[in-house]
Structure 1
Amino acid sequence: MTTNNNMQRKAAVISAIALLIMTLAAFFSQGYVHSSLVINGDEVTTLENIQASQSLFRLEILGWIIILITDLIVSWGFYVFLKPFHREYALLAGWLRLLYTAILGIAVSQLVIANSTLHESVTGEALGTIPQQVMRSITAFEEIWSVGLIIFGIHLITVGLVAMNTKKIPKVLSFLVILAGFSYSLIHFMYGFIPQLEGFTKILEMILIAPMFIGELGFGIWLLVKGRKLTID
């Protein structure tokens, strides 16, 4: 029992730290670099932005690689932490996150392809097919990642259900994790499979952005503050 407690506490701390690092990397890569360089529907301006900030674009890719690594750590950490509460659901949550991470890895490879296209091109070709090639890779990254976020949402719902069924984790926090998972899955399902409602989906995303952000990050902070002190009855 003591060994299990120690392992669970270590998993709580390690996964919490990984989540915080992941959040910072996501803020930088997606929230700052990607959103400032990529102009939807404007291939030429996007190319010019990336050409003028190639080092920044490469740092974005590095940020995504850090996210991939920390996602693997969180997959393990969540499984170890949740296993004493419900082994089967904890295992399911772990595999779902690994599946999401694999999909994200495929998505990030598209950014690597975009960077290679830029590297191999010469200035005289910049206004030829290069803008279309780069935008095609960036669009593929966004679409593949969006599909992965549907899986990510189901992962969070599973984590929340395990947390909801134990007295060790606050019910409010468990509900927020479930709500975050439902929001991720709903929003990205609508983006991917109901494109005609894109305008409504964007409004809905703005409404749900707070629970999407607070859910997992709040759970990570709780793991760091309280989870490391948890004992199994």
Structure 2
Amino acid sequence: MTTATATTAAIRGTDTPSATAALWAGIGYAILFVAAIAANFGVVTSITAAGDPTAMVDAIAADPTAFRFTVLAFGVIFVLDVVIAWGLHVLLRPTGEMRSLLAAWMRLAYTVLLGVAVGLMHLAGQVATGALPVTDATGTTALLMAGFDITWIVGLAAFGVHLLVIGWILVRSRVAPRILGIGLMIAGAAYIADTVAHLLVADYTAIADVMLAIVAVPSMLAELGLTVWLFLAARRVRTGRPLGRAYIVAA
């Protein structure tokens, strides 16, 4: 029996849990895409692009409902990331439990920091709208939003490691197309590079547009591909079919 065939057999051995885990991870990723695009590009980008702290506070206070829904969207993402970490670990555990566990822990480490970032963002909204009175509302709001940003960015380094490990698992186990695993590894490296750039480059804004493209393009393509594969994997495992196209090749 080849390595990939044995892996598929092991996954089929826990048929219902693995299929269910893959399905929930796929559903989680699909919802996460919508929530992330709406929250980050719909509201956060416009607020941070306002420039000076006064304009930032004015942007939040102008539509506090939209800001609160943005905080809620990030809270939903926080929960979904836990579900996705669990689902991927259950599905990929037969490919190597320690590697799968490492990937799960890396995503959970990112998720913890995301939760802290969401808390900071909520407080920024409270201060900007006057619900939480402070002496310097403008400065405090700007500081809390900066805290949200850097906390999330540091967490994305752990998320990048998560994608690197998941990509490596898919490449080595051959339960998914090789290009998907390579794409996830490229996306993971891009996340890590962006965090390093934030921490080391004095004027990050000068390269922000370039770094956004470097991160956004491979991550969206790779993670969308992973979402589709998770739905296909759930169906294949449930029906007893092998995963991937390379399972007949000896390792």
- How high is the TM-score relative to the length of structure 2? 0.84
AA in 1 matched with 2:125: N
Residues 1:146 and 2:153 are matched in the alignment: yes
| 8 A Cα contact 2:19 2:233, kept in partner | no
**Counterparts in 2 of 1:216 and 1:33: CA distance versus 1, 3 Å:** same
Within-5 A mapping of 1:44-83: 44-83=54-93
Question: Which structure 2 residue ranges, 5 or more long, are not aligned?
Answer: 1-9
User: Which segment is superposed worse, 50-59 or 33-42?
Assistant: 33-42
| 8 A Cα contact 1:78 1:94, kept in partner | yes
What does residue 165 of structure 2 align with? 158
**Greater relative contact order, per chain length (Cα 8 Å cut-off, separation 6+):** 2
Residues 1:98 and 2:82 are matched in the alignment: no
Structure 1 runs of 4+ aligned residues shifted over 4 Å read none
Question: Which structure 1 residue ranges, 5 or more long, are not aligned?
Answer: none
Task: Report Cα offsets for 1:67-114 as digits up to 9, x if no partner.
Answer: 001001001001001101111100001111111000111111101111
Residues 1:12 and 2:22 are matched in the alignment: yes
What does residue 114 of structure 1 align with? 124
| 8 A Cα contact 1:191 1:198, kept in partner | no
| 8 A Cα contact 2:154 2:195, kept in partner | yes
> For the aligned residues, what is the CA RMSD?
2.0
Displacement of 1:39 after TM fit?
Answer: 2.9
Q: Secondary structure at the match of 2:173?
A: coil
Q: Tell me the matched-pair count.
A: 229
Sequence identity (%): 25
Displacement of 1:141 after TM fit?
Answer: 0.2
AA in 1 matched with 2:229: W
What does residue 189 of structure 2 align with? 182
- How high is the TM-score relative to the length of structure 1? 0.91
